[in-house]
Structure 1
Amino acid sequence: MTTTPGRREGSRARASEEIRFDTSGSTGAARRWFRLPHQMEREVRLIGESLVGPVDHVVNYAPPQHLFGALFGQWLPRMAQVRVHQAWSSPYEPLPITPGERVLVVCIPMAWDLLRRSWSTLERAGSVVALHSSAAPPPAARDLVRRAAGLLRAHEILGSTETGGIAHRPLVPGGNAEGRWRAFPDVSFVHDAEAPVGRAQELVVSGPRLARPENRTRPPAYWATGDLVEFTGPRAFRLVGRSNSLLKVNGIKVHLARVSERLSARLPQAECVVLPVSDAPLTGEGYMIFWSDPGRGTGVTDIREALREFPSPARIVHLADLPRTATGKPDRKALLAAL
């Protein structure tokens, strides 16, 4: 069992109190965000009471330098005075499950395949609750929820370093047909309440758990997440996309526009199209690359080398010619149909 202390930093007045988190991401400059202990405690209690319930043992696959791992891999075990297994540091070690205990599993996408392989060990538990965050759950998550019905309950949490947890929904075997997220009680929305039903709006939130950015003396009054949503009720919404080309691969932020820019700069002789993937086998969310390079010798190795600073693409697909629309742009529907 391994524990990693949180990093405390900030101005002189806050140096002994604030906990520092850096935004993840290999495609942009990292930024520092600061949280106070009472914000951490509030979030643990809020999510612990509403989704988790009593636990005896935490199995944590989320590195604690990230907010999700710190909250439920450090703060919750400390506050509840229960033991924790830091599986993120040794993911292939056998899980130390005691028969009959109530287990909380803190999941990122890669954890689900490991859990599926270790399910015979987890079956010793009296109950298992899984919290999933950082990206879309992979197919292995839904498969395990289906197989372990009755013993395993799973919840998705939508949130970020900047906002903390915003909303939640159950993780169910066949996918969430309605796709609706329900906001946590202390989250408020900044939006046009009179907008027509079905109209997409950017998700802008406010509340007492927003983090303080390094260039400000206090948290902002609200935060624009970059997500596009359709509100289905006063406290519920459906995600319909993003206002930019951002996605997360196993918790690491990736701007698809920057992936495209890198490929164009490093491989000008090839034509590459980058598309998002929502069901990558291990990472859940990801991206794929279609490329065409008639007779110029570009190969998969060249593409991977050009993107060595980025998370690996889920798929790289070579086509003799890229299909195009009537205006000459790459035809995304035809590309996906070619898979």
Structure 2
Amino acid sequence: MTATAGTASAPAAPRGALGFETSGSTGAARRWFRLPEQMEREVELIGGRLVGPVDHVVSYAPPRHLFGALFGEWLPRRAGARVHQAWADPFAPLPVSPGERVLVVCVPMAWELLHRAWPALERAASVVALHSSAAPPPTAHGLIRRAAGRLRAHEILGSTETGGIAHRPLGPEPDDGGWQAFPDVTLLRDAGAPADGTEDLVVRGPRLARPAVTRRPPDRWATGDLVRFTGPRTFRLVGRSGSLLKVNGRRVHLTRVEERLRAALPGTECGALPLPGDPLAGEGYAVFWARRGGRAGVADIRAALRDFPAPSTVVELAAVPRTATGKPDHRSLVAALERLPSGPRRTR
């Protein structure tokens, strides 16, 4: 295609580069290129640090996303391991042979399936799970309790733009445990920030991807996460900068709202969405919820959030829509609000 007058054409992809699109549900997708040596470096780093020897990989992450490509294709190829692409048929039995060392590549929906498939995984010599893309559901911690001593699980913080940034162990109980940066990631601190204050998470490193519209990777990348640093290379997540609201003058992190609801109502699926311009509180937020075998109702949601400013709207859905990587699908949630026949229901 010929570029129109006054518009520069996009730079050509680097030779051998792999293209991935961001999976966010708001705005147009953007394309990012990663070099084979970046893929190899990440597989070697995370595979060696967190996984160890592997005979069989079970991947619930599609390879069109970076997480699925890294650990569902590149790692097993490097390790000479066989692969079961479970994302293609999630309900198929897992073909695990006795004595195999198994890696399971998890997105949120995988954990319920692993509960059902655990008898097959018990035949393995060892099972390691890597989780990424969205917060682990309560079923993840439940399986870790059930499989005590036989399942090691790690959560990876990262994105298409950055690759893996940091990691932490997943345990039998939900917690707000700290993250440890990977060795080749530089955490760029704000020199003027208070020692115990909240800062934007900005990183630099050799695995930053190249945007399709530029000729080289960025020097640094602002992730959109808000963190509180606990050491030179450790931090705790506070929330997302885009999820930070002020309701009646009080700061509210929607990430914390979702964490509280997951912990208090384990049989309920919940998500939160900002609602700028709330007529009573200035900014506000909506809570979406769906029963998953639990008996929770609006009163239980209000009770769980008694330490937070009340949500402007509570909407019950058959299921909280999510993207392919398990993140709440904001576009579908907005559409659900617009379809309400009498406008949003305000909670008091």
Matched letter for residue 186 of structure 2: S
1:280-328 per-residue CA deviation (whole Å, 9 max, x = no partner) reads 979xxxxx98648xxxxx9969x99xx9952699999x997532xxxxx
Closer, same or farther: CA 300–276 of 1 in aligned 2, 3 Å: closer
Under a length normalisation based on structure 1, what TM-score does the superposition of the two structures give? 0.74
Matched letter for residue 118 of structure 2: W
- How many pairs align? 283
1:118 aligned counterpart, secondary structure: helix
1:236-247 matches, within 5 Å, as 236-245=234-243
- Corresponding residue for 2:147? 148
1:255-266 matches, within 5 Å, as 256-257=273-274, 260=275
Q: Is 2:236 the counterpart of 1:234?
A: no
CA contact (8 A) 2:68 2:105 kept: yes
1:222-268 per-residue CA deviation (whole Å, 9 max, x = no partner) reads 0000101011001100001111139899xxxx9934xx48xx9xxxx
Matched letter for residue 21 of structure 2: D
Matched letter for residue 166 of structure 1: I
- Corresponding residue for 2:179? 181
- Corresponding residue for 1:98? 97
1:123-159 per-residue CA deviation (whole Å, 9 max, x = no partner) reads 0000000000000000000000111011100000000
CA RMSD of aligned residues (A): 3.7
- Corresponding residue for 2:17? 18
- Corresponding residue for 2:304? none
CA contact (8 A) 1:27 1:310 kept: no
- Corresponding residue for 2:204? 206
- Taking the aligned partners of 1:73 and 1:180, their CA distance within structure 2 comes to 26
Which of 305, 310, 322 is equivalent to 2:332?
Answer: 310
Aligned-pair identity in percent equals 61
- Taking the aligned partners of 1:171 and 1:314, their CA distance within structure 2 comes to 33
1:88 aligned counterpart, secondary structure: helix
Closer, same or farther: CA 120–36 of 1 in aligned 2, 3 Å: same
Structure 2 residue runs without a partner (length 5+): 1-9, 245-253, 259-270, 279-283, 294-300, 302-310, 322-328
Q: Is 2:63 the counterpart of 1:64?
A: yes
Matched letter for residue 125 of structure 2: G
2:40 aligned counterpart, secondary structure: helix
Closer, same or farther: CA 75–320 of 1 in aligned 2, 3 Å: closer
Closer, same or farther: CA 313–13 of 1 in aligned 2, 3 Å: closer
Q: 1:275: how far off?
A: 3.7
- Corresponding residue for 1:73? 72
- Corresponding residue for 1:119? 118
CA contact (8 A) 2:32 2:211 kept: yes
Q: Is 2:274 the counterpart of 1:274?
A: no
- Taking the aligned partners of 2:152 and 2:184, their CA distance within structure 1 comes to 24
Matched letter for residue 19 of structure 2: R
- Taking the aligned partners of 2:57 and 2:317, their CA distance within structure 1 comes to 40
Under a length normalisation based on structure 2, what TM-score does the superposition of the two structures give? 0.72
- Corresponding residue for 1:337? none
- Corresponding residue for 1:196? 194
CA contact (8 A) 1:138 1:281 kept: no
1:73 aligned counterpart, secondary structure: helix
- Taking the aligned partners of 2:47 and 2:144, their CA distance within structure 1 comes to 20
Q: Is 2:347 the counterpart of 1:322?
A: yes
2:112 aligned counterpart, secondary structure: helix
Matched letter for residue 23 of structure 1: T
- Corresponding residue for 1:89? 88
1:48-83 per-residue CA deviation (whole Å, 9 max, x = no partner) reads 000000000000000100000000001001111110
1:92-133 per-residue CA deviation (whole Å, 9 max, x = no partner) reads 000000001000000000000000011111100000000000
- Taking the aligned partners of 2:231 and 2:32, their CA distance within structure 1 comes to 31
Q: 1:192: how far off?
A: 2.3
